[in-house]
Amino acid sequence: MKIRIALTGNPNSGKTTLFNALTGSAQYVGNWPGVTVEKKEGRYRAQKEVTIVDLPGVYSLSPYTLEEVISRDYILEEKPDAIINIVDVTNLERNLYLTTQLLETGIPVVIALNMMDIFNKSGDKISIKALSQRLGCPVLPISALKNDGLDPLMKTALELANQKKKFEAVHKFHPTVETALDKVEKILYHNDNANKDLRWYSIKVFERDDKTLKKLNLPRDIVKDIENIIHNAENLLEDDSESIITGERYELIEDICSAVLQKKQTGLSVSDKIDRVVTNKWLGLPIFIFVMWFMYFISVSTIGTIITDWVNEEFFEVIVTDAATSFLESAGAAPWLLSLLVDGIIGGVGAVLGFVPQIMLLFFFISILEDCGYMARVAFIMDRVFRRFGLSGKSFIPMLIGTGCSVPAIMASRTIEQDRDRKMTIMLTPFIPCSAKIPIFTLMAATFFPRNSLVAPSMYFLGIAMVILAGVLLKRSALFKGDPAPFVMELPPYHLPRPKGVLIHMWEKGKSFIIKAGTVILAGVIIIWFLQSFDWSFQMVETDQSILANIGHAISPLFAPLGFGSWEASVSIFTGFLAKETVVATFGVLFGIAEATEETTGLYPHIAALFTPVAAYAFMAFNLLAAPCFAAIGATKREMGTWKWTFIAIGFQTGLAYLVALVIYQIGSAIFYGTNITGAVIVSALIVGAIVYLLFKAYMENKKAVAQN
Amino acid sequence: MKYLNEVPIGSTVKVQKIEGMGPVKRRMMDMGLTKGTEVTILKVAPLGDPLEIIVRGYALSIRKAEAKCVVVS
């Protein structure tokens, strides 16, 4: 018989550690359909027929955040056989808040009282028996980190699961609330959806929980009757019903805690002392800058680059390519197959896989920061800056990583809890120029602005300016409109990172990049290779005769208003989707210069013939902002969860790139070359005017809002 | 009426009420800021916002804008 046990608890309560300890290595990560939050499922080490489901860490089962809705939908709809509620004993009050809600779902609950080792050392005392009595469910002390008490915990959980009995919560609220709940229960008894879990539904209906009311779809007269009952209780207790229940829960918990806990008064904990320094008014920022610099220095600019370069230039370009070539040639493979495997797949996928070491290193550091508790402080320190343009303090890390590669940057946005902030971060992070875009800027700057050292770096400023501008504008768009997400965030106590957890996290990130992004990239690579190697009669030809060249000719008029309407430029933009490095390489192929890099001076005259300097700058801006490479699009799809949002992101990026390039070329040409004022120039001027107006409006509204407060 | 954002750093106050409604209010209450709870203002972030407070024995960070909804005494 199959048994499913759900694992729930607050964030930072040691849930993941317990999950890893219970499942060992037999775990996999799966996505919930349509959403980006991960659900983990694993098999219990000792009994493989038992599935353990790791639900997202939540503080409550309120209907407001994605994670909470996922957790409660899983519990109510999928009905696991038992719930293990992991409770951090060193933070009992807040942890038990979720427990009181879980106990009302009707599913049997076992409490795993975690961090007992730390608790015992502190000298505090707890009566586990009394706690179990007051909550009406078994309570077992464990230490997930030290693997203590896990077998008895699972034994109890399995016993409960096998009984398949409905659980009845024993805790009661204020008499006035209970009277109201009784009345609601009597009404709901006749509703088919609600009468299986009456206690849960009557509390939720009493709280006026939107999601529940929608699900029950009660007739209008019944809603009116219930509304009367709620009003009555609200008048008596002088608060709204949702707050009454929340307050009642905490009062109940305070009562329980004072009965079962004996706290020894202690001074500052080690964690408090660390925090005094780390988020200190004066030292906070310098320490933050140092930590970020160190992480970046190791994983992006030194060790990471060395390994990535070796993988790209030695491993894939020389070792694998040579081996594959000689093998295929000796096997007498057809030239097209050789070309597909070597130029297409090994070249394309290899360029992407080269980033795996960098990604793993970055996630090694990110896991450490998250595990030790510093990540919450990063958000704490940077929130003020990023909030101004609609992002969260946690958006800083993706933006920083984005200077190396957009793929891990987009993946790093996972740490942002707020759905809106996360989506916006994913959309805006690719504006930060990644290392693969640098050769484009270098080539263009060297060709057209050899004496101006500011042109290439100006792309960074343009990228940052666009993040801010787009952030301010997007925040006001229908997609992201609404009240600002609350920034009510726990600052968890510091602790030493656990090597095992850090390594698992790092490996999972690397693996998911290889698998998920890899499938998208592989398909993309094959398509582009096909287009650039064949003509319409499916004969193998040079690139300038290929279907891709044809497409280049066809789409080049689109880019004419931006100043780069040549088919070569169009083709290079197209191949840029493969990997931004290939933009320069494509010019090399098209002009018959093998192995072209941004330092190949032979390329300069050819490039100079294609662009005017202003058009070259517009070309740089377009490449900076337009849809990122396949790997980054794959990562976007993975983190956004749906194709709809992926296309919104790509469409927004490319659309903005087009507008910016248009404005640069048209207005730039009018100013520097005195070209005639045409329709396109007027349109560009209007775009600039509209953006300035919107920004001004946003600024004035912001000022008004500040003044009102 | 006094609000949480007006309380000097280092002092401890009692929550009277949370104003407003919807997700922000519920979230703050879920995190333990209910009527009668003691709150200590620990510090302000290096750039002047958000605040770090101690509630129910743990550290919580909230923005000044949110602290403005918390009536204290």
pLDDT tens across A678-709, in order?
777 888 888 888 888 888 887 777 777 656 55
B34 to chain A, closest Cα gap in Å: 6
Nearest-CB residue to A91 (from B50, B58, B63): B58
Number of compact structural domains in chain B: 1
Q: Phi and psi for A293 in degrees, rounded to 5?
A: -60, -45
Judge if A158 and A198 occupy the same domain.
no
Residues A51 and A98 occupy one common structural domain: yes
CB contact under 8 A, A489 and B61: yes
What pLDDT was estimated at residue A265? 67
Tell me whether the omega of the peptide bond preceding residue A175 falls within 30 degrees of 0, making it cis: no
User: What percent of chain A shows pLDDT beyond 70?
Assistant: 93
Q: Tell me whether residue A570 is in a domain.
A: no
Range in A423-427, A489-493, A659-663, A696-700 the model is least confident about: A696-700
The mean pLDDT of chain A is 85
A60 to chain B: which residues are within 8 Å by CB? 26, 30
Whether pLDDT at A352 is above 70: no
Taking an 8 Å cut-off on Cβ atoms, the answer to whether B29 and A247 are in contact is yes
Residue pLDDT, tens place only, A427-436: 999 999 887 7
CB A42 within 8 A of CB A143: no
Residue A62 at interface with chain B, using a CB cutoff of 8 Å: yes
Please write the tens of the pLDDT for every residue from A220-242: 888 999 999 999 999 999 889 99
pLDDT tens for each residue of A5-54: 999 999 888 888 898 889 875 454 433 333 345 567 888 988 989 999 98
Please check whether residues A432 and A303 belong to one and the same domain: yes
Q: What is the mean pLDDT of residues A323-343?
A: 83
Please check whether residues A125 and A239 belong to one and the same domain. Answer: no
Beta bridge partners of B62: B51
What Å distances lie between residue A261 and A82, A93, A130, A264, CA to CA?
A: 27, 10, 10, 10
Using the Cβ of A250 and the Cβ atoms of chain B, whether some distance falls under 8 Å is answered with: yes
A709: three-class secondary structure by DSSP: coil
Please check whether residue B47 touches A, CB under 8 A.
yes
Encoded tokens for A562: 């931006």
Tens of pLDDT, residue by residue over A521-554, are 677 778 878 888 888 888 888 777 889 889 889 9
- Closest Cα in chain A to B65: A709
Q: Report pLDDT digits (tens) over A560-589.
A: 999 999 988 998 888 888 778 778 877 877
Rounded to whole angstroms, the Cα distance separating A475 from A420 reads 9
Strand ranges of the sheet holding B12-18, from the earlier edge strand across to the other edge:
A489-490, B58-62, B51-55, B38-44, B12-18, B70-72, B2-3
Q: Which of B26, B48, B59 sits opposite A384 (nearest CB)?
A: B48
Which among B22, B29, B46 has CB closest to A381? B46
β-sheet with A38-43: strand ranges across: A27-31, A38-43, A50-54, A3-9, A82-88, A109-114, A139-141
Spans of chain B below 50 pLDDT: none
- CA-CA distance, A104 to A198, in Å (whole number)? 9
Whether A308 is in a domain gets the answer yes
Round to whole Å and give the CA distance between A427 and A425: 5
Higher local confidence (pLDDT), A345 or A124? A124
Looking up tokens 């860490």, which residue turns up? Answer: A57
CB contact under 8 A, A380 and B52: yes
Cα(A308)–Cα(A296) distance, integer angstroms: 15
Could you tell me the CA-to-CA distances from A335 to A210, A328, A329, A341, A342 in Å, in that order?
63, 9, 9, 10, 10
Contact status of B30 with chain A (Cβ, < 8 Å): yes
**What is the average per-residue pLDDT within A133-162?**
94
| Rounded Cα distance, A595 and A511, in Å | 31
Q: What confidence category does residue A322 fall into, taking pLDDT thresholds of 50, 70 and 90?
A: confident
In a domain, A349, yes or no: yes
Q: Specify whether A149 is located in the same domain as A44.
A: yes
* Residue A12 counted as domain residue: yes
Q: Do A309 and A428 share a domain, yes or no?
A: yes
Are A11 and A131 part of one and the same domain?
yes
Structural domain span for residue A312: 284-442+488-509
Pair of tokens at residue A615: 């058009």
Domain CATH for A221: 1.10.287.1770
User: Same structural domain for residues A188 and A139?
Assistant: no
Residue A671 has pLDDT above 60, yes or no: yes
Q: List, in sequence order, every residue forming a beta bridge with A109; answer none if it has no partner.
A: A83
Give residue A26's pLDDT: 47
Asked if A64 and A110 sit in the same domain, the reply is yes
Distance CA A10, CA A202 (A): 24
Q: How far is A232 from chain B (nearest CA, A)?
A: 19
pLDDT (0 to 100) of residue A625 = 95
- Sequence-distant (6+) residues with CB within 8 A of A334 are none
- Interface A–B counts its CB contacts (< 8 A) at 121
Residue B35 belongs to a domain with what CATH number?
Answer: 2.30.30.90
Q: What ipTM was reported for this prediction?
A: 0.96
What's the confidence (pLDDT) of residue A372? 86
Domain that holds residue B44: 2-72
A242 touching chain B per CB within 8 A: yes
Q: Determine the distance from the C-alpha atom of residue A285 to the mean position of all C-alpha atoms in its chain, rounded to a whole number.
A: 25
Beta bridge partners of A490: B60
The length of chain A is 709
Cross-strand bridge partners of residue B39:
B13, B55
Q: Does A604 touch chain B (CB under 8 A)?
A: no
pLDDT at position A619 is: 95
A18 domain-assigned: yes
In a domain, A595, yes or no: no
Q: Is residue A127 part of a domain?
A: yes
**Rounded average pLDDT over A584-595:** 73
pLDDT score recorded for residue A314: 80
- pLDDT at site A132: 96
Residue A482 contacts B where some CB pair is shorter than 8 Å: no
Residues A123 and A192 in one domain: no
CB-based contact (8 Å) between B38 and chain A? no
In this predicted structure, which of A14-23, A192-201, A308-317 has the lowest mean pLDDT? A308-317
At B22 the pLDDT is: 79
Give me the sign of the Cα torsion angle A698, A704, A707, B3.
Answer: negative
Which among B23, B49, B58 has CB closest to A64? B23
Asked if the structure places residue A97 within a domain, the reply is yes
The answer to whether B14 contacts chain A (CB < 8 Å) is no
Most confident of A349-358, A391-400, A558-567: A558-567
pLDDT in tens, A411-428: 888 777 777 888 999 999
Across the interface, whether the CB atoms of A486 and B27 are under 8 A apart is answered yes
In this predicted structure, which of A94-108, A172-186, A244-258, A518-532 has the lowest mean pLDDT?
A518-532
Q: Is A489 on the interface with B (CB under 8 A)?
A: yes
Tokens at A667, concatenated: 């207005």
The pLDDT of A100-105, averaged and rounded, is 95
- Listed ranges A108-117, A499-508, A527-536; the one with the highest mean pLDDT: A108-117
**Distances, alpha carbon A497 to alpha carbons A346, A366, A543, in Å:** 37, 11, 52
Contact call for A488 and B66, based on CB within 8 A: yes
The count of domains in chain A is: 3
Per-residue pLDDT of A283-309, as tens digits, reads: 989 998 898 888 878 876 778 778 877
Query: A344 and A425 share a domain?
Result: yes
Q: Does A11 lie in the same domain as A146?
A: yes
pLDDT of residue A266: 65
Output DSSP code: residue A301: I
- One-character DSSP codes across A172-197: ---HHHHHHHHHHHHHHTT-TTTTTS
pLDDT of residue A32: 39
More confident residue, A388 or A172: A172
